[in-house]
Amino acid sequence: MRATPDAVRRIATSPATIGTYALLVVPFALGWIDARLFSPLALPGYLLYGIGTAIGNALAPRFEFWIYWVPFLVGTYGIASVVGVGYEWWRDRPGGGSRGGR
pLDDT of 70 reads 84
Taking the C-alpha atoms of residue 1 and residue 7, their distance in angstroms, rounded to an integer, is: 7
Cα–Cα–Cα angle for 58, 61, 67, rounded to 5 degrees? 105
pTM more than 0.75: yes
pLDDT of 97 reads 57
- For residue 89, the tally of other CB atoms under 10 A from its CB is 12
- Taking residues 60-80, what's their average pLDDT? 85
Q: What are phi and psi of 50, to 5 degrees?
A: -65, -40
- Taking residues 57-71, what's their average pLDDT? 80
- Whether 31 and 37 have beta carbons less than 8 Å apart is answered as yes
Q: Cα dist. 47→23, 42, 51, 72 in Å?
A: 13, 9, 6, 10
Q: Cα dist. 79→29, 58, 59, 64, 100 in Å?
A: 17, 22, 22, 24, 27
